[in-house]
Amino acid sequence: MGLTSATLLTVLITLTATAPLILVWSWRHLSAPWRTPAMVVGIVAAQVLAVATVGVGVNRVYGFYPTWGSLVGQVSPAPPAPLPAEPHVGRAAGLLLRPASLRGERPRQAATTATATTTATARTTGTVRHYLVTGASSHVTGRVAVWLPPGYDSPRWRHHVFPVEMMMAGAYSHVDRMVHDLAIGSVFGPEVASGAVPPFIAVFPEDNVAWPQDTECIDNPHGVQAFTWLAHDVPAWVQATFRVSTSARAWDASGWSLGGYCAVKLQLLDPQQFGSAVAVEGFFAPELDGTTGTLASVLRRDPALAEASSPLWMAEHHRLRSPHILVTTSSTDPQSFHASRAFVAAARSAGVQLYLVPEQGHTVDAWRLVLPQVQRWSSAFLATAT
């Protein structure tokens, strides 16, 4: 009986509903010496059943733990990711929607920063540095963590320009926690040191910049310019601060959950900045609920903004220009599986590839599992694009 099966939920609901009846029967029919102990055990068991029922029900909806093994921390290795499609695939001309913030091609401006902390450098794990960045275009102030590969400051790489992996987390994952949970240095460092991928810089911007409100990476005409922050300000600051390439072919956007949605939007709406994207357990249209404030009414009044905010709508109504996107999901992730399949089908392009990983829930652990694989996909694409 699977952890997400309807049978398990049905059994738990039945037991939870039956427990009070058993308690009443026990109180009436057990003799005095046994009555009190039985009631104590019964009440505890009834509470455990109620909690378990709610937990299993929530898990069926959100897919945090798809298997019994995942519940106890057992993780299966991820299969190899597909090879990226050739860069010329999918470059057919087509209408590309662009939000108001990108129309007119405003010049990219630098941003002001203040260094917060720097971690210790390790020969094989690289360095993580933390900054507070204020965007000159969006006027958003957010935290940005930057992972520098082993040897970034060495004489060997003094004149080398690096490709960039811009990584974004889910709606309620802060930058510091994301870097810690993903164990960035221990994952990326050995990949670079072993030569599995060429040296690159990883940038982790705060994507939910109006906490606790969810911006859905949208430029709200009456609020936070969340898309401009990611599309303009963070890249401008990175280019002004580090030795990185300014070519779109050297920039990849990736993310998990909300971050995956943001990454795909960045690649589709600003291919001159982001040559490729990876969506890990992402979605492909804004999820408008009680956490997004006035966004629902804003998008209803502005159909153009609503369309430009939905990669799925763009894929369904237009031929995508230069899509180079890896969509990774699992059939046991109810939050992303069907949305991912729908987007890939609607795109109808070899430049949008599906990467299925079995028995993975909607968790940061699942993202960490596929990090080496998706980074090799990104690096392979960057190599073929040069």
Strand pairing partners for 112? 134
More confident residue, 370 or 73: 370
More confident residue, 4 or 357: 357
> Is CATH 3.40.50.1820 the right assignment for the domain spanning 77-385?
yes
pLDDT digits (tens, 9 = 90+) for 200-244: 999 999 988 887 788 899 999 988 999 999 999 999 999 999 999
Annotate 2-24 with b (16+ C-beta within 10 A) or e (fewer): ebbeeebbeebeebbeebeeebe
3-state secondary structure of 148: strand
* Alpha-carbon span 206 to 216, nearest angstrom: 12
More confident residue, 281 or 16: 281
* Alpha-carbon span 275 to 381, nearest angstrom: 9
Instruction: Name the helix (H) or strand (E) containing 112.
Output: strand 112-118
Q: Which two tokens stand for residue 288?
A: 């408008």
Q: What is the pLDDT of residue 243?
A: 95
Say which amino acid occupies 2: G
Q: In what order do the strands lie in the sheet with 352-356?
A: 112-118, 127-134, 141-148, 201-205, 164-168, 251-256, 276-280, 325-329, 352-356
* Alpha-carbon span 191 to 379, nearest angstrom: 11
* Alpha-carbon span 24 to 178, nearest angstrom: 49
- pTM score, whole prediction: 0.79
Q: What is the pLDDT of residue 73?
A: 61
DSSP for 193-204 reads: HTTSS---EEEE
Residue 318 has pLDDT above 80, yes or no: yes
State yes or no: cis peptide before 212, omega within 30 of 0: yes
Instruction: Name the helix (H) or strand (E) containing 117.
Output: strand 112-118
Residue 386 has pLDDT above 90, yes or no: no
More confident residue, 366 or 64: 366
CA angle 251, 252, 256 (to 5 degrees): 150
* Alpha-carbon span 155 to 261, nearest angstrom: 38
Contact 218, 227 (CB under 8 A): yes
Strand pairing partners for 164? 201, 251
* Alpha-carbon span 362 to 335, nearest angstrom: 7
Strand pairing partners for 353? 326
Which one, of 280, 286, 284, lies nearest residue 214 by Cα? 286
pLDDT digits (tens, 9 = 90+) for 21-74: 877 777 777 777 777 777 787 788 888 878 877 776 665 655 566 665 666 565
| pLDDT average, residue stretch 331-336 | 87
pLDDT digits (tens, 9 = 90+) for 267-306: 999 999 999 999 999 999 998 887 787 888 899 899 999 9
pLDDT digits (tens, 9 = 90+) for 238-272: 999 999 999 988 999 999 999 999 999 999 999 99
Q: Which two tokens stand for residue 313?
A: 């709508």
Say which amino acid occupies 333: D
What Cα–Cα distance (Å) separates residue 366 from each residue in 262, 280, 370? 18, 9, 7
Contact 16, 50 (CB under 8 A): yes
C-alpha torsion angle, residues 175, 260, 83, 321 (rounded to 10):
-130
Confidence of residue 343 (pLDDT cuts 50, 70, 90): very high
Q: Domain map of the chain by residue range?
A: 6-62, 77-385
More confident residue, 125 or 382: 125
| pLDDT average, residue stretch 69-98 | 57
More confident residue, 97 or 353: 353
